[in-house]
Amino acid sequence: MTHILRPFGLLLLLSLFVIVAMIICAFIILINTSENKPIIVYRRTGGVIGLSEKIEIFENKNIIYLNEKTGEKKEKHVPEYIIDVIKTYYIPILKKFKGMRFESSKNITDFFKHYIQIEEDIEIIWIDPWASREPLPEEIREFTHIMKMIKQVFIFENISWKNSISKESEGLILSASLEKFVYSRNEKMEIKVKIENFGDDFIYHSPTPCHPDVRIVVDGDIVDCIDYTKPVFSKDTICIQVLQKRILTRNSVITNIAKIQLNKLNPGLHHLRIYFPYAKPVLEVCIPFYIRE
């Protein structure tokens, strides 16, 4: 009897071993499949050159770029904070636009069309702001800017790329520019702002003769870390308290420059908002930037 049970016991043990091994293999495959699936896919198509490119972002800090027209492919490893910003900030915000499509106005061509895919059931489609039939949400405009930054800085390693954004309204163009996207806390960040007028003379008022033409805030309300250097102005500036009338004439340009003390800000993603004019804005732009430890 013992001789009969012994092979049976070995067979049972072997069967259990095979079952456990299959479970472990299935678990490993499941993990690898999850890791090999991008957390977000971004595509841009169209334009005069008929561009078609795709960027896949993975949780393991890999980014794959593919030019679907030429076949050019690049795979890069990016810092963890870039993945963290995409995963914890932009993806949750973008999800609220699930299924939305922003179409072009009639008789407009040569614009770029943008697509993002999040998970399996979330797709958003939009086009360049200048061609859109309706205004694009600021969150989508900002994400487009972030993807441009990732492509230029981390995929093609373009060291001359500037973190700049502009907006136009009725002949006025407000442009703001930073040197880069990522800063360390011991740096001083300089922001250059330019206002151009291609329309009629624009009349506005400044709170005092000393105030700059634009108002800059960090994260909505932090202003004590900002010092204007052109014109020179800070919270300690003493000036006569009287409204000053100013005129931005047709085809003229105004430049304002300020420095931001980053050691007063916490590490992480931040936003600079620039308003023109200072007192009663008609234009506003927002620039994202990141502070490392």
pLDDT means over runs of 10, the chain (293 residues):
54 59 49 69 89 95 94 94 94 93 81 91 90 91 95 92 94 96 94 97 94 93 88 84 94 96 92 95 96 89
CB atoms within 10 A of CB 262: 21
Structural domains of the chain, with CATH: 39-161 (3.30.1560), 162-293 (2.60.40.2360)
- At 114, phi and psi to the nearest 5? -120, 140
pLDDT of residue 16: 62
pLDDT of residue 12: 59
* Residue pLDDT, tens place only, 197-216: 999 999 999 999 999 999 99
pLDDT of residue 74: 95
Residue among 119, 135, 124 nearest 96 (CA)? 124
pLDDT of residue 159: 87
Beta strands 202-206; 268-276: pairing state: unpaired
- Determine whether 260 is exposed, middle or buried from the number of CB atoms within 10 Å of its CB (0-12, 13-18, 19+): buried
CA atoms within 13 A on the CB side of 169: 12
pLDDT of residue 222: 79
pTM: 0.81
Residue among 99, 115, 113 nearest 43 (CA)? 115
